[in-house]
Amino acid sequence: MTETPAPAAVLADFDAYAQAVETVAAAARAYYGGADSSVDDDTYDRLLRGIGVYESEHPDQMLAESPVGKVAAGALPTGDVPHTVPMLSIDNVFDPEGLVAWVASLERRIKRAPAALTVEPKMDGLAVAVRYRDGRLDRLVTRGDGIAGEDVSHAIGTIEGLPERLPEPVSIEIRGEVLLTTEQFEAANEIRREYGATVFSNPRSGAAGTLRAKDRPYVVPMTFYGYVALPFPDDDSPFAEELRTADHSAVMARVEEFGVLTTGRTAARLRVCATVEEVQAAVDEIAALRAELPFGIDGIVIKADAAADQRDAGNGSRAPRWAIAYKLAAVHKITKLIGVDWAVGRTGVIAPRAILDPIEIDGSLVGFATLHNPADIERRGLMIGDQVSVYKAGDIIPRVEAPLVHVRTGAETPIEFPTACPQCGGELDTTQQRWRCAQGRACGLQAGILYAVGRDQLDIEGIGGRIVTQLIDTGAVADVADLFTLTRDRLLTLDRMGDKVADKLIAGIAQAATQPLSRVLCALGVRLTGRSMSRRIARHFGTMDAIRAADVEQMARVEGIGPGKATVIVAELAELADVIDKLVAAGVNMTEPGVTPGAADEPAEAGAGSGTEPGPLTGKSVVVTGAMTGALAALSRNEMNELIERAGGTASSSVSKKTSLVVAGDKAGSKRAKAETLGIPLLTPEEFADLVGTLLPA
């Protein structure tokens, strides 16, 4: 279900109303002007809606500077370039009930049901009118007050998605959004750090500031996505008449043919719907794709598709009556950084984590966020006590993007970096961006052993934190290989260890020795690998001997591993040589089932993985979503991925055009919806179990 923003703010009296007007006006100036606002999008929307409610109840108290009913809340500079036709804002709804009410009002205005409704993402950037004259890119104009805007044509050449020439010598105005994609935002902040400039706190403010900037010593690339096109009023050519009478969806298809970027090339492409139920379903589909899109969205736009319906609905002074924005809950929020803690991972890596004043983002309460490494903290210029922009979308781990430097009070304090290992107190290796305890895995031994015995690695049931601590403290275990030398008598020397528990553990260890190579490799905790990457490496090489013999060039040939990762992985395997030798000596399995040894050195057939035997899923990319049932009910997601790869397929976590099929269990959500949209085959768990047949675990 689409996550909706919080309800309107309750303004108890005139003083609260006046303060809300002042706050929203300041935030709007920042929002549209490229500066950092001190309130997040949800707070802005709640206050703006609260102002509207208060004014409807107290019309005699309405302030002249109220943002309600004004294009861009009255915050954008007017500029001196008149628009060919007014460039209006768009009204909002916030829930399914609001959408139904809007569609009903549209039907009343046009005195019929609309022929069709389009649904497309509302991109979070800066609205711009792009003018082409005789096929040549002529001028860029901001929205301004809707009547006239600023000329920002100096940005031509820095914006992707806008060809300088169209394939036909036509004149057309294409309106859309100039924004920073996620990739461009990260690159822009790297550029600004290099030049000593303050980093952007979010992509929207970065795009707004960049579009207006002149004479910078550096260039920040941006991207344009078109969302409407219209002819010039004085143009009476056949092409202009075509634009005036065509459906919105047809016009946007024509724009895309011209080579101008639209959302048609993304998973959130424009959808044409016949009923309000279809519209709501499309809204939910696009909202579910939010985390996967290359740009930020803050809502979803619904429009009457037919030109006649748009004409009959007409426009208000601020917004068209034939379009509405279904607002989504903000994924950028502002909160306070109240501390940083430092944890030691299983390979000895020192990981900083931001401690936040808890705040709700995208439907969940966020109290912590990733900071990656000390260099990342320095690049972002963070201080304890800062108001920070925090981002979260979908299942992505929240991250701190940047401090709001302009609201600092002077009470902020520097973040203290550790001078010794936070866990053992030993020396730190700070030669890489990711700091590490000089003892490496020895420092993170307990975490490493607990990880190794987990269900998706060696799967030794019954070995918990208390037992691991005793094994380490008594010297029984110094690495994961020592688990396989444990005897029943040695286990019985541990506190609170009975005969039955000891027997169960010995049996579990014996079973672990037969696990596939991919799980053994994963249990070693090689840096830059996890469950999926360990399976890829194991299925590529087939044996541990082949993996250990691989040089950087050979390792880099594994899917998803480039030269950078390969260098680290090869070095890690060399560091683990003694542990691997001990595992071999203990009789632990060092081969991957279904893989032909040495086949990684031979050219792979099209659609087949290196060294793997053909199976029912050979050459197919498979996504699993929802709860499995029937024969698959007991399998973890990792075990499902292993099953897919044993059958010759590739397990993936996201649905795309490259996905071959989706296994959709109970309560399958956005991934199923995306698969249906893309026309990707769907299988029930039972159908999938029949497909893989004898490969199912006993």
Residue 607 has pLDDT above 70, yes or no: no
Residue 611 has pLDDT above 60, yes or no: no
Could you tell me how many residues make up the chain? 698
pLDDT digits (tens, 9 = 90+) for 235-269: 999 999 999 999 999 999 999 999 999 998 888 89
Of the pLDDT bands very low, low, confident and very high (cuts 50, 70, 90), residue 666 is: confident
Residue 656 has pLDDT above 90, yes or no: no
Mean pLDDT of the chain: 87
Q: Report the interhelical angle of 276-288 vs 96-110 (nearest 10°).
A: 140
Question: Quick one: pLDDT at residue 256?
Answer: 94
For residue 42, give the H/E element and its range: helix 41-57
Mean pLDDT score, 541-569: 91
Q: In terms of Cα–Cα distance, which of 648, 653, 674 is closest to 282?
A: 674
Of the pLDDT bands very low, low, confident and very high (cuts 50, 70, 90), residue 221 is: very high
Measured between its terminal Cα atoms, the distance across the chain in Å is: 37
Mean pLDDT score, 632-644: 88
Of the pLDDT bands very low, low, confident and very high (cuts 50, 70, 90), residue 2 is: low
Residue 659 has pLDDT above 50, yes or no: yes
Q: Comparing 405 with 151, which gets the higher pLDDT?
A: 151
Residue 70 has pLDDT above 90, yes or no: no
Of the pLDDT bands very low, low, confident and very high (cuts 50, 70, 90), residue 604 is: very low
Question: Quick one: pLDDT at residue 677?
Answer: 78
For residue 548, give the H/E element and its range: helix 544-549
Helices H / strands E in the chain, number of each: 23, 25
Q: Which residues pair with 126 in a beta bridge?
A: 178
Q: Comparing 308 with 5, which gets the higher pLDDT?
A: 308
Of the pLDDT bands very low, low, confident and very high (cuts 50, 70, 90), residue 35 is: low
Sign of CA dihedral 638, 643, 646, 650: negative
Q: Comparing 652 with 108, which gets the higher pLDDT?
A: 108
Of the pLDDT bands very low, low, confident and very high (cuts 50, 70, 90), residue 4 is: low
Residue 206 has pLDDT above 90, yes or no: no
Strand order in the sheet with 682-683: 650-652, 621-625, 661-664, 682-683
Residue 115 has pLDDT above 90, yes or no: yes
Question: Quick one: pLDDT at residue 255?
Answer: 95
Mean pLDDT score, 530-548: 92
Residue 39 has pLDDT above 80, yes or no: no
Residue 218 has pLDDT above 50, yes or no: yes
Question: Quick one: pLDDT at residue 482?
Answer: 95
pLDDT digits (tens, 9 = 90+) for 453-497: 998 899 999 898 899 999 999 999 999 999 999 999 999 999 989
pLDDT digits (tens, 9 = 90+) for 159-172: 999 999 999 999 99
Q: How would DSSP label each residue in 596-607?
A: -TTGGGSPPPTT
DSSP 608: -
pLDDT digits (tens, 9 = 90+) for 351-400: 899 999 998 876 678 899 888 889 888 888 899 999 888 877 555 678 88
Q: Which residues pair with 132 in a beta bridge?
A: 137, 172
Q: Comparing 500 with 379, which gets the higher pLDDT?
A: 500
Of the pLDDT bands very low, low, confident and very high (cuts 50, 70, 90), residue 423 is: confident
Q: Comparing 75 with 330, which gets the higher pLDDT?
A: 330
Residue 608 has pLDDT above 80, yes or no: no
Of the pLDDT bands very low, low, confident and very high (cuts 50, 70, 90), residue 67 is: confident
Q: In angstroms, rounded to a whole number, what is the distance separating the alpha carbons of residues 235 and 243?
A: 11
Q: In angstroms, rounded to a whole number, what is the distance separating the alpha carbons of residues 349 and 544?
A: 25
Question: Quick one: pLDDT at residue 609?
Answer: 44
Alpha-helical segments (H) within 344-444: 374-380
Catalytic residue (choose from 70, 111, 122, 667):
122
433 close to 527: Cβ distance less than 8 angstroms? no
Q: Comparing 366 with 69, which gets the higher pLDDT?
A: 366
673 close to 284: Cβ distance less than 8 angstroms? yes
Q: Looking at this protein, which amino acid is placed at residue 633? A: A
Q: In angstroms, rounded to a whole number, what is the distance separating the alpha carbons of residues 187 and 384?
A: 25
Question: Quick one: pLDDT at residue 71?
Answer: 60
Q: Please name each of the domains of the chain with its CATH number.
A: 14-74 (1.10.287), 81-327 (3.30.470.30), 332-429 (2.40.50.140), 444-512 (1.10.150.20), 614-698 (3.40.50.10190)
Mean pLDDT score, 48-68: 85
For 574, residues 6+ apart whose C-beta sits below 8 A from its C-beta are none
The whole-model pTM stands at: 0.59
Residue 30 has pLDDT above 90, yes or no: no
Question: Quick one: pLDDT at residue 33?
Answer: 58
Question: Quick one: pLDDT at residue 6?
Answer: 61
Mean pLDDT score, 277-283: 93
336 is catalytic: no
Least confident window among 52-56, 189-193, 220-224, 613-617:
613-617
Of the pLDDT bands very low, low, confident and very high (cuts 50, 70, 90), residue 615 is: confident
Report the percent of the chain where pLDDT is more than 90: 50
Q: In angstroms, rounded to a whole number, what is the distance separating the alpha carbons of residues 489 and 469?
A: 18
505 close to 463: Cβ distance less than 8 angstroms? yes
Least confident window among 298-302, 318-322, 478-482, 690-694:
690-694
Mean pLDDT score, 491-510: 93
Q: In angstroms, rounded to a whole number, what is the distance separating the alpha carbons of residues 303 and 293?
A: 21
Mean pLDDT score, 208-221: 88
Mean pLDDT score, 654-668: 87
